[in-house]
């Protein structure tokens, strides 16, 4: 496996070429949002300055060029997750993708959509299964769907070491389960969940599977059709692409049968004042003007990551993650969240410094040029499970070096003394 030269890759990311308060920028917040290689920025600028125009309509040359770039982007981003272009719906991001699915199922429950949609209709007492570690984006849409339909939301608990309780999952996923919605990788714990096993449990009872791939798409080789999930969501800005663009992947039969969510222009065949007919997927789910320049730039991000090789990206970040975990583990008063022995992980470590508020840790590190995330990371139930309201999260990217991690460990080692907390 070719190894990444992280120090050399820093040069691809213009933002890293600056100091923060006189200190070298150590960016350890890629799980919140990723930095962009120059070629992604260039791709968006090139589109806006050379090809910008409305896609899928208009007879002029620029419109044709923009349409081609937009549809090529779909093919590239779909290919990045092992899928065909017709299985990729553009959205504004993972939150929108997950809401789209939840609202579409709500529409099926209300009797909207083609006859085939009836298979998604929920009845009171039907169960939606999530996990205790979900990001709010893969939790609240299901709470809302349950409230609208009378379905019951249940959750797979997490062990003290951050791994899912798969015995509980096997007991929980049963005859009444209609939907299993889980994250591939926790944005707090960085642990890769056994998705194939969860899919097998869901399939055995005929439940629909929905994967939150926000933290896996940018960090591991991902083949969504091979994983066997029905639907999956991810965000462009977390995988070196722009804000405001993301995707919903869906198996063909699922996208075909799922009712539309948003309606309006660009998603219809015939429209009268009384009723309308919709285009097939993916256009059925793409009402209104799409994030075209962002999609084109996201394709550039997918090409950049593909060129590095996702196996090499994963290997590098896993190694950096190990260094981060073992360094943090050795600091008195530091408690790691989800310190599972031998678990498959990405380069994410969340921790508490006993006696010091996470925000103070974050500010202390910022004064050293080190950017980390503090707070609940949109996973309040997971923090409650570990008896916390906030934690500090460090997360790696392809440009993260051993020096960056040593700076983090040095910084965290000095926190308790600085705040006068006894070690
Ligand atoms: N799920 C996970 C696991 C995430 O990490 C995030 C972003 N923090 C989201 C969902 C939501 O993504 P977005 O805000 O880009 O829609």
Domains contained in the chain, CATH given = 6-30+309-418 (3.90.1150.10), 43-306 (3.40.640.10)
Ligand 1 midpoint to CA 9 (Å):
25
**pTM > 0.80: yes or no:** yes
Atom number of ligand 1 nearest to Cα 95 = 16
Is 177's C-beta closer than 6 angstroms to any atom of ligand 1?
A: no
CA nearest ligand 1 atom 7, residue? 32
Digit-by-digit pLDDT tens for the chain (423 residues) are: 789 999 999 999 999 999 999 999 999 999 999 999 999 999 999 999 999 999 987 789 999 999 999 999 999 999 999 999 999 999 999 999 999 999 999 999 999 998 999 999 999 999 999 999 999 999 999 999 999 999 999 999 999 999 999 999 999 999 999 999 999 999 999 999 999 999 999 999 999 999 999 999 999 999 999 999 999 999 999 999 999 999 999 999 999 999 999 999 999 999 999 999 999 999 999 999 999 999 999 999 999 999 999 999 999 999 999 999 999 999 999 999 999 888 999 999 999 999 999 999 999 999 999 999 999 999 999 999 999 999 999 999 999 999 999 999 999 999 999 999 975
Is 214 designated active site?
no
Q: Which two tokens stand for residue 118?
A: 């009836």
93 Cβ closer than 6 Å to some ligand 1 atom = yes
Burial of 129 (0-12, 13-18, 19+ CB in 10 A): buried
> Among 215, 245, 294, 346, which residue has the most ligand 1 atoms within 8 Å of its CB, making it the best to mutate?
215
Which helix (H) or strand (E) element contains residue 7?
Answer: helix 6-9
Please report the sign of the dihedral spanned by the C-alpha atoms of residue 6, residue 7, residue 11, residue 13.
Answer: positive
C-alpha pair distances (Å), 371 with each of 6, 211, 328, 393 = 17, 29, 16, 10
Q: Would you state the structure tokens that stand for residue 248, as one six-digit string?
A: 């919903």
CB-based contact 379:133 (threshold 8 Å): yes
Instruction: Kindly state the helix (H) or strand (E) to which residue 23 belongs, with its residue range.
Output: strand 23-24
Which position among 64, 116, 371, 378 bears the catalytic label?
A: 378
Please indicate whether residue 191, judged by its CB atom, sits closer than 6 Å to ligand 1: no
Q: Tell which residue, 12, 16, 38, has the closest CA to residue 26.
A: 16
Q: Which residue has the tokens 């062990």?
A: 159
CB of 41 sitting under 6 A from ligand 1: no
Neighbours of 277 (CB within 10 A): 9
* Atom of ligand 1 at shortest range from CA of 134: 3
Instruction: State in Å: Cα 70 to ligand 1 middle.
Output: 24
């Amino acid at each position: 496996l070719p190894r990444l030269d992280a120090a050399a890759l820093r040069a691809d990311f213009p933002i890293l070429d600056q100091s923060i308060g006189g200190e070298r920028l150590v960016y350890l917040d890629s799980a919140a949002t990723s930095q962009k290689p120059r070629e992604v920025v260039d791709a968006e600028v090139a589109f806006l300055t050379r090809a910008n125009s409305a896609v899928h309509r208009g007879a002029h040359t620029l419109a044709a060029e923009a349409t081609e770039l937009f549809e090529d982007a779909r093919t590239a981003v779909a290919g990045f997750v092992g899928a065909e272009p017709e299985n990729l719906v553009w959205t504004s991001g993972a939150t929108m993708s997950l809401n789209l699915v939840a609202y579409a199922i709500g529409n099926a429950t209300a009797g909207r959509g083609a006859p085939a949609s009836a298979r998604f209709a929920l009845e009171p007492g039907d169960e939606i299964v999530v996990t205790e570690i979900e990001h709010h984006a893969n939790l609240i849409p299901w709470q809302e769907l349950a409230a609208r339909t009378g379905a019951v939301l249940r959750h797979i608990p997490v062990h003290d070491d951050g791994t899912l309780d798969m015995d509980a999952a096997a007991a929980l996923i049963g005859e009444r389960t209609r939907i299993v919605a889980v994250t591939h990788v926790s944005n707090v714990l960085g642990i890769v969940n056994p998705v194939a096993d969860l899919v097998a449990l869901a399939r055995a009872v005929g439940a629909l599977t929905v994967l939150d791939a926000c933290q896996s798409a940018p960090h591991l080789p991902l083949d969504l059709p091979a994983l066997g999930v029905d639907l999956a969501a991810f965000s462009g800005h977390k995988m070196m692409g722009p804000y405001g663009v993301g995707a919903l992947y869906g198996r063909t039969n699922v996208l075909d049968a799922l009712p539309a969510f948003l309606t309006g222009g660009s998603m219809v065949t015939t429209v009268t004042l009384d009723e309308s007919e919709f285009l097939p997927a993916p256009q059925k789910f793409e009402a209104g003007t799409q994030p075209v320049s962002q999609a084109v730039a996201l394709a550039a991000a997918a090409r950049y990551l593909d060129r590095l090789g996702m196996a090499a990206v994963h290997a590098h970040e896993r190694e950096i993650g190990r260094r981060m975990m073992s360094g943090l583990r050795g600091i008195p008063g530091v408690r790691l969240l989800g310190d599972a022995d031998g678990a498959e992980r990405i380069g994410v470590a969340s921790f508490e410094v006993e006696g010091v508020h996470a925000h103070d840790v974050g500010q202390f590190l910022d004064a050293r040029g080190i950017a980390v995330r503090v707070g609940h990371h949109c996973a309040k139930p997971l923090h409650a499970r570990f008896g916390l309201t906030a934690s500090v999260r460090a997360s790696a990217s392809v440009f993260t070096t051993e020096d960056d991690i040593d700076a983090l460990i040095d910084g965290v080692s000095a926190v308790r003394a600085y705040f006068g907390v006894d070690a």
